[in-house]
Amino acid sequence: MFSIAIAAVVGLVVGSFLGTLVLRPPKGMPVIAGRSACPHCAHRLSAAELIPLASWLIQGRRCRACRRPISPFYPLMEIAGALVAVLSVILVPWPFFVAVCIAGWFVLVAAARLFVKDV
């Protein structure tokens, strides 16, 4: 049970990063460098605003600075990342679940890039 909780948390964090892999490169933005910001007002997000899923819910699905809605794409990518991690831990034995998890995350990014054009 503990390993499932760890997988879920790791999956949420990785899913958040995967969202940047989907959105930033097509816009010519760096993936690693630069801080996350509101797509509407460019408000730089604080550490508290970067907590996967929780910050989106706590802030009422809105930017704290401009109060405009934050796209559900972000928490959906986080949840999808967590789902891939949890299913990998449940269905695949150690240590192979790590490879399956990483492969699942690659598929998630590829699928999101195909279907998500702008957020």
* Structural domain boundaries in the chain: 2-115
Q: How many CB atoms lie within 10 A of CB 17?
A: 16
9-25 pLDDT, tens digit each? 999 999 999 999 999 98
Confidence category of residue 27, pLDDT binned at 50, 70, 90 = confident
29-49 pLDDT, tens digit each? 888 888 899 989 999 999 999
83-100 pLDDT, tens digit each? 999 999 999 998 899 999
Contact 24, 114 (CB under 8 A): no
Exposed / middle / buried, residue 65 (Cβ in 10 Å: 0-12, 13-18, 19+)? middle
Task: Dig out the tokens for 4 from the structure.
Answer: 């499932």
Look at residue 98 and give its three-state secondary structure.
Answer: helix
